Amino acid sequence: MKPLGDDSSCDRTNFDPRASLNIVHDTGASGVLGDLSGFREEFYRCLTSRSDALFELADAVLCADGPVRSLPELSLVGEHRRGHGSVYAALDRGRVEVDRLRRALAVVPLPRAAGGRLVLAVDITSWLRPEAHTCPQRMWCHTYGRARNSHLLVAGWPYSVVCALETGHSSWTAPLDAARLAPGDDAVTVTAEQLRTVIANLVAAKDLYHVEGHMQRWLRLDRIP
């Protein structure tokens, strides 16, 4: 599969998703790598416009050497094989089928707590954008540790995030959903709707653990401002 120069030559007939998505199926491998390959295939199907460019952009974010600080940097990552203009075109005209992506995340094997319970944690986390004066719908976000013995309000985008947790010393989590709070949104209402959707998807995926006929799930919610 030869590299593509830019998005102008990037129609779906030039791109075989199996070449980059199916990382283990051809060798008959299974387990964790097989799960990863299956998820990547389904993630690709969730991209309904500019699919190839968006997919490689996601790979570039994951494979970058450090934090992503600018879009042009992503075009230089080896996994992004297109011209730098395709980065902007993908973000401007690319589309993601969000509901299908949520269902795909629910099917992925999730970490478990003691006794096989599924523990969902919900918290508000902020993407701070203090210098992005032209970005719409910024809100004042509570931050801690940026000043001595105090907290600050910084402009940014708050997100309500739902993750599956596991017990033990591992800090790994499995994000299942993220919803940005807009000005005027009630955080409790947004979070409640998130949980309904996540749990419904888990039920549909049959990923809720049953003991003696009862669904075993724990919810841990941090303080919601």
- In tens, the pLDDT along 24-49 reads 444 444 678 888 889 999 999 999 99
Give the contacts of 12 (CB within 8 A, at least 6 positions apart): 51, 52
Asked whether the beta carbons of 197 and 179 are under 8 A apart, the reply is: no
Of 96, 122, 148, the position where a domain reaches its end is 96
151 vs 180, more confident: 180
State whether 144 and 200 are in the same domain. yes
State whether 134 and 63 are in the same domain. no
Average predicted confidence (pLDDT) for the chain: 79
Of 64, 96, 128, the position where a domain reaches its end is 96
Give the contacts of 59 (CB within 8 A, at least 6 positions apart): 20, 77, 79, 80
Domain count, the chain: 2
Q: What is the pLDDT of residues 104-147, one digit of tens each?
A: 999 888 888 777 788 888 999 999 999 999 989 999 998 877 66
Q: Give the model's pLDDT for residue 222.
A: 58
Q: Residue 150's domain spans which residues?
A: 110-221
* CB atoms inside a 10 Å sphere around CB 74: 21
State whether 114 and 215 are in the same domain. yes
State whether 124 and 204 are in the same domain. yes
State whether 115 and 86 are in the same domain. no
**Domain for residue 135, yes or no?**
yes
Q: Give the model's pLDDT for residue 30.
A: 61
pTM of the model: 0.73
State whether 126 and 209 are in the same domain. yes
State whether 121 and 186 are in the same domain. yes
State whether 64 and 151 are in the same domain. no
